[in-house]
Structure 1
């Protein structure tokens, strides 16, 4: 027993140790007393239009309703969308009934609304806490692949490389925003950002699919606007709208979102007289997992896309990615070292070896049935591990701060 304890102690001291990065004890939790939420939102739409809508919606919430319940309700709307996908467009192509795409739009809009009024409810009821930030960002992380999956179904992209990209691309943006928040201690939302303008665009695309059908995205720009042929190259005019959309999303991430995240972290580190370059090594485990996902999905030996298991993969990835970002937020709140990895990345790391490198070398031990079992294991393991961890962390924070997660101990009184 002592040998095991010593081995575990050495493992805990390893720099990338999962246990080291999230010790939940009184000393760690004491940093929560210093918590002060900080955010910057430069969006004109948020400032001049949606702010009034969100304030109105917040006033409709009863004062006994806990902010975290509002956050959770938002995610439930997305899960209803996922259920509708499984029932009406399980192939992610369709077409489904027109009302389905309008329901996608409604679900995403309601999710966004809840995501923006939970903080206002916390201030109304005097129940703001670090747990609220952790819970809010945790739900946002879970929604990254789910919201992308709804968008994939909305545009009829199917279980393709394009559909997988749209399903997963939000994870890239969320990771780097969370990494930025860890180092700057401020959530930055630019003049054009995903939670505002991105949601509006996504909702608009869903409404268009509801009006014209998802096949509209297979048409080219010249099919829709023939007059642009006079000033657009044929290669652009004949590109399907869905491909144009994918290219715009990729361009927006690599030319705007990522550079600004890096710049803000550089400025924050510089202001504290800290070196910037060491922070880049914090990308390594996540970039490794992103490349692993790419090789897994791109493998000609994998059945994940060819036999339409993208929904199951998205659900599994939702919880493993949620684990990654919530660990970073928890480390931010408790002033702990940056958490490099989580055990939930391991199935993703192993997958390319099993379903790409070994088969390409002539070793065909792992069949399609095995891969499906592996995918189910990944999904169940991710869900179970994430929920168990969330319960431990939520209970620890609630006990330390003397608060409840889903109720308000002292409801605010109406004036």
Structure 2
């Protein structure tokens, strides 16, 4: 088959599938001494008739169930949005201007935020909410629609506190199943590129869903903080995948997203459930820690840093992202230098991520942040973004396992650019009203879902056909050609040697 726009593994790249070997390094002490023994015991309960990808997909299904509970009640993140509007009005001594529904929806906030102590000082103006968000913005949840026949704002959009415990259980179960699929693959003789792709695909989808769930648990609402957290989590995932492409090894540091990061989110859910719901995270960090009573705090500039707990936590996450950038690039530079290759050229591989983030933010903030202000468009847009991201990193993983060139562009970038440009026009051609913008978001979501679905179908069927294996049935590769794999490895080795020699000759020709 000749390569085409929708042929993700061309005939010329299929031989590389026979040479694929997983390589990973995990420096986590939690994995080694606590979770590792638990995972080894857990996988023994699964019969060898259960396919590894079935285990992976089962874990993702639990996350989907968690996400459905959010959509059922608060599909517009209205609970957190109303809480921030309440805080804005309180700061301006305009609490009497709030309508009854907003006051009811955020009644729990008052008890938390009005706790005696220093005033809470958010990092962003208006607690991160765009000016275009109105206090009477109607939310939606399909359970409210079924039971009340409307999405009006006179129904509660705050989840019962016990729901967050189910989120913690579901996420921990996802982590457990995601961690044993590789062990099951080795038990059943099905370790290979298909498992690598399937695992990363599920992880990419989970990243977006979990980010939105965490935003709900921490009362972020439809604020710029939710967007920032989405950018940070997707960036961390992309960096890990980009690093694996250039080094050939999946590096998990002493503090990594798949291990400590997930456990930290589980703790957030438990705290939210047990300590008063999402309103807990609106309290000032100095008030919660008791430092607000210390004289050295009250009598110094430190009193102005009584950040809301959610602001403080997300600032910590930003620092973690910066550290991850340095670590990932250091690993890539070391691997490239060892092979006699440039340590600078891989930086170009960050462009797809940077472009995707910049374009989608450009779109989100157009027309006075209309998409953010629209409770019925915000989460669908985030899911569209998440699927676009999954498609992006999916192409990168395919390039990794087939030893293909780095994928610098894809259709989702073009589509996002068209949507952003139209939205930013003085008179948009398509998104000329709120209803039209909402329709554009829905169409984008559907088309991206179809594109990603086709990508998954093509990659899975190509690999299973090439290696003679199956996706959800235990069937070790029947067509695996180790000699062909060795030939591919030899070809790659010779190519690296040739590049190294060419680089050496260029250095010799440089004037001294």
Global fold match (TM > 0.5): yes
Do the aligned partners of residues 349 and 365 (structure 1) sit closer, same or farther apart at CA in structure 2, a change above 3 Å counting? closer
Match of 1:305 in 2: 372
In the TM superposition, what is the alpha-carbon distance from 1:23 to its structure 2 partner? 3.8
- The separation in 1 between residues aligned to 2:428 and 2:399, in whole angstroms, is 44
Deviation at 1:18, TM superposition (A): 5.2
Q: Structure 1 residue 333 and structure 2 residue 401: aligned?
A: yes
Query: Which of 195, 201, 216 matches 2:280?
Result: 216
Task: Provide the residue aligned with 2:333 in structure 1.
Answer: 266
The answer to whether 1:293 aligns with 2:360 is yes
Distance 1:154 1:97, change over 3 A: same
Alignment check: 8 A CA contact 2:40 2:180 kept: yes
Q: Structure 1 residues 317, 363: closer, same or farther in 2, change over 3 A? A: closer
CA distance in 2, matches of 1:306, 1:234: 32
| Counterpart-to-counterpart distance in 1, 2:358 and 2:251 | 27
Pair 1:235-2:304 in alignment: yes
- Corresponding residue of 1:57: 42
CA distance in 1, matches of 2:475, 2:346: 40
Q: Which deviates more from structure 2 when the two are superposed, residues 299-308 or residues 70-79?
A: 299-308
- Judge which range, 219-228 or 287-296, deviates more: 219-228
Secondary structure of the 1:188 match is strand
The corresponding residue for 2:10 is 24
Between 1:123-132 and 1:365-374, the stretch displaced more is: 365-374
Match of 1:67 among 28, 52, 56: 52
Given candidates 207, 210, 223, the residue that maps to 1:147 is 210
For residue 436 of structure 2, the aligned residue among 359, 370, 373 is 370
The equivalent of 1:3 in structure 2 is none
Residue aligning to 1:379: 445
Relative to structure 1, the CA distance from residue 260 to residue 229 in structure 2 (aligned partners, 3 Å threshold; closer, same or farther) is farther
- Report whether the alignment pairs 1:106 with 2:169: yes
CA-CA distance at 1:95 after TM superposition: 3.0
Aligned to 1:188: 251
How far 1:314 moved relative to its partner?
2.2
Is the deviation greater in 185-194 or in 85-94?
85-94
**Could you say what secondary structure the match of 2:438 adopts?**
helix
SS of residue in 1 equivalent to 2:475: coil
User: Who is 1:200 aligned against?
Assistant: 263
Q: How does 1:111-150 map to 2 (within 5 A)?
A: 111-150=174-213
Does 154-163 or 309-318 show the bigger shift?
309-318
For structure 2, the 5+ residue unaligned runs are 80-156, 478-512
1: distance between equivalents of 2:9 and 2:307?
51
Whether contact under 8 Å (1:95, 1:156) holds in the other structure is no
Structure 1 residue runs without a partner (length 5+): 1-8
The C-alpha deviation readout for 1:313-354, integer Å capped at 9, x for no partner, is: 222122211111111111111110001121022222223322
Q: 2:178 touches 2:199 (CA, 8 Å); kept in 1? A: yes
Structure with bigger gyration radius: 2
Q: Deviation at 1:300?
A: 4.5
1:396 to 453, 457, 462: 462
Contact 2:365 2:371 in 1 (8 A): no
**2 CA distance for matches of 1:90 and 1:362?**
27
TM-score (norm 1): 0.89
Q: CA offsets, 1:48-67, max 9 Å, x none?
A: 10001111111111211100
Tell me which residue corresponds to 1:281: 348
In structure 2, C-alpha distance between the alignment counterparts of 1:75 and 1:198, rounded to whole Å: 17
1:297 CA displacement = 2.3
For residues 410 and 269 of structure 1, what CA distance do their matches in structure 2 show?
34
Change (3 A) 1:192 1:186: same
> Matched residue of 1:65: which SS?
coil
Check the 8 A contact 1:292/1:349 in 2, yes or no: yes
CA contact (8 A) 1:18 1:342 kept: no
Indicate the RMSD between aligned Cα atoms, in angstroms. 2.0
TM norm structure 2: 0.73
Aligned residue pairs total: 391
CA distance in 1 between counterparts of 2:182 and 2:34 reads 18
Q: CA deviation at 1:19?
A: 6.0
**Residue 252 (structure 1) aligned with residue 315 (structure 2):** no
Partner of 1:42: 27
Change in Cα spacing, 1:362 to 1:39, as seen in structure 2 (3 Å) is closer
User: What displacement does 1:365 show?
Assistant: 6.3
Distance 1:179 1:365 in 2: 34
Aligned counterparts of 2:204 and 2:158: Cα–Cα separation in 1: 28
Residue 325 to residue 97, structure 1, CA distance change in 2 (3 Å): same
Deviation at 1:398, TM superposition (A): 0.2
Matched residue SS, 1:150: helix
